[in-house]
Amino acid sequence: MKAGIEAISFYTSHYFFDLKNLAEERQTPVDKFYHGIGQEKMAAPPPDEDVVTLAANAAYQVIQKVDAEKIDTVIFATESGIDQSKSAGIYVHSMLGLSRNCRVLEVKQACYSAAAGIQLALPYLLLHPDRKVLLVAADIARYGLGSAGEPTQGAGAVAMVLSSQPKIIAFDQETGIYTEDVMDFWRPNYREEAFVDGKFSIKMYLKSLYEAWQQYTDRSGSRFDDFYRFCYHLPFSRMGEKAHFHLAKHIGREDFSEEYLLGQINETLQYIKIIGNTYAASMYIGLMALLENSAQDLAGKKIGFFSYGSGCVGEFFSGQVLPGYQQYLLAEQHRAFLQNRTELNYEEYKKFYLYSIPQDGGEYLTPRNKTGLFRFAGLKEHKRIYQKLESDSAR
């Protein structure tokens, strides 16, 4: 028996900002963004969207596809949490009306945390094959205005139901892990934006990939040629290319052409290019881009996953695509959502970016914008208020 993904979906902001406008504003050649880092657009969350609403809007779609009564664990993976104590997962659990006989927790290790959620859930599901785990990963990637990281911002969430009756991906047991105490990217509690040593973060990503791969192959006996496609953590789409070329080079597979290697990752980059970084959610948005856009039937194919979280932890793991997976995807819905988003001009982008919620304990209502079914409505006595709407603007 194998455990894996029974249902999966993503959600992002209804608003985006095109990087050609950022290039103009920052007097940078647009090619640096479009080609140098491989990003075209970035999702920009309005004031009434936060990690809870991003996650709830993604999760609402997946719980319709499964027997939700069987979900007895909710894991919320994020590095943009909204409370130092209460798990963001409790809000999501409540908004979705899940069973109260449920454990709910939040996990954090930069962009790696969702992979940790998967690895913790799998043995639990094999031990309890009648139960299901809802894993949500949601983040708002935020860097300083005018900083090198600014074009790699984004926002989004992934929700997946993991179970011992997977319909989309069945995960293998062996993984390879690498951890090292480094300061490549971090966000102290008093900061809204991350500090990042960009070049060093790329170096640590690549080092962790190689080290994790070595342990994975030693433990599993799998080889590069066993894989059909690779899904990488994607802070920006060119990072996927850098990672894949680095891996091929360092394991001595320089015989593969650039074209062949790009073919192993290209489909995974499609959504991230127009959404931006979503930290913990990004690798799984890459997985959905692959499954939903591949011209080939991927059933039976082996997929490699590399999750990297600054600080740092990297893990390489693998899984097989299951026969008939296509009928469990939300491909049309996702494509339509991305096509129908609203474009922001620079002033509108900056207004969303600069909006901050008051901290005086008063009663505040957030301005109404386009959101999914759930929105962050405001604050009262330091308590966050969420609202369920009659319909999702995307439907």
Report the distance separating Cα 272 and Cα 283, nearest Å: 9
Question: What single letter denotes the amino acid at residue 85?
Answer: S
Q: Does the protein bind ligand CAA through residue 37 (CB under 6 A)?
A: yes
Choices 234-242, 245-253, 290-298, 345-353 (CB under 6 A): range interacting with ligand CAA:
234-242
Q: Which is nearer to ligand CAA, 199 or 249 (CB)?
A: 199
Choices 175-183, 231-239, 290-298, 373-381 (CB under 6 A): range interacting with ligand CAA:
231-239
Report the distance separating Cα 162 and Cα 6, nearest Å: 6
Q: DSSP readout, 106-141? A: EE-BTBTHHHHHHHHHHHHHHH-TT-EEEEEEEEEE
Choices 157-165, 198-206, 261-269, 387-395 (CB under 6 A): range interacting with ligand CAA:
198-206
Which of 4, 81, 89, 235 forms a contact with ligand CAA (CB under 6 A)?
A: 235
**Residue 376, CA atoms < 13 Å, CB-side half-sphere:** 22
Q: Does the protein bind ligand CAA through residue 156 (CB under 6 A)?
A: no
Q: How buried is 90 (Cβ within 10 angstroms: 0-12 exposed, 13-18 middle, 19+ buried)?
A: middle
Closest contact distance (angstroms) between CB of 269 and ligand CAA is 14
Choices 25-33, 171-179, 330-338, 384-392 (CB under 6 A): range interacting with ligand CAA:
25-33
Closest contact distance (angstroms) between CB of 39 and ligand CAA is 9
Closest contact distance (angstroms) between CB of 241 and ligand CAA is 9
Which stretches does DSSP call E strand in 53-201? 71-77, 103-107, 132-141, 154-163, 169-171, 176-179, 185-186, 195-196
Token pair in block for residue 275: 């959404």
Q: Give backbone dihedrals phi and psi of 359, rounded to 5 degrees, phi first.
A: -120, 20
Q: Does the protein bind ligand CAA through residue 307 (CB under 6 A)?
A: no
Which of 83, 99, 127, 148 forms a contact with ligand CAA (CB under 6 A)?
A: 148
Token pair in block for residue 224: 């590069």
Q: Does the protein bind ligand CAA through residue 310 (CB under 6 A)?
A: yes
Q: Count CB neighbours of 23 within 10 A.
A: 17
Which of 73, 201, 208, 307 forms a contact with ligand CAA (CB under 6 A)?
A: 201
Report the distance separating Cα 139 and Cα 156, nearest Å: 6
Q: Does the protein bind ligand CAA through residue 280 (CB under 6 A)?
A: no
List, as own/partner pairs, every contact residues 355-361 make where C-beta atoms lie below 8 angstroms and the sequence separation is at least 24, other chains included. Answer: 355/47, 356/192, 357/47
Report the distance separating Cα 210 and Cα 214, nearest Å: 6
Site for ligand CAA in 109-138 (CB under 6 A): 111
Q: Which is nearer to ligand CAA, 153 or 366 (CB)?
A: 153
Q: Between the CA of residue 14 and those of 277, 339, 375, what are the distances in Å?
A: 15, 10, 12
Report the distance separating Cα 146 and Cα 26, nearest Å: 7
Active site residue 231: no
Active site residue 241: no
Is the alpha carbon torsion for 328, 331, 336, 337 positive or negative?
positive
Q: Binding residues for ligand CAA, how many (CB under 6 A)?
A: 25
Active site residue 111: yes
The contacts of residue 16 (CB under 8 Å, 6+ apart) are: 41, 42, 43, 44, 274, 275, 341, 342, 343, 344
Site for ligand CAA in 160-189 (CB under 6 A): 185
User: Considering 40, 49, 93, 233, which one is annotated as catalytic?
Assistant: 233
Residue number closest to ligand CAA, CB atom: 36
Question: What single letter denotes the amino acid at residue 271?
Answer: Y
Choices 101-109, 119-127, 144-152, 386-394 (CB under 6 A): range interacting with ligand CAA:
144-152
User: Considering 40, 49, 93, 111, which one is annotated as catalytic?
Assistant: 111
Q: Does the protein bind ligand CAA through residue 35 (CB under 6 A)?
A: yes
Which of 2, 21, 36, 214 forms a contact with ligand CAA (CB under 6 A)?
A: 36
Q: Does the protein bind ligand CAA through residue 205 (CB under 6 A)?
A: yes
Give the active site residues. Answer: 79, 111, 233
Residues that bind ligand CAA (CB under 6 A): 29, 31-32, 35-37, 111, 148-149, 152, 185, 196, 198-199, 201-202, 205, 233, 235-236, 239, 277, 279, 308, 310
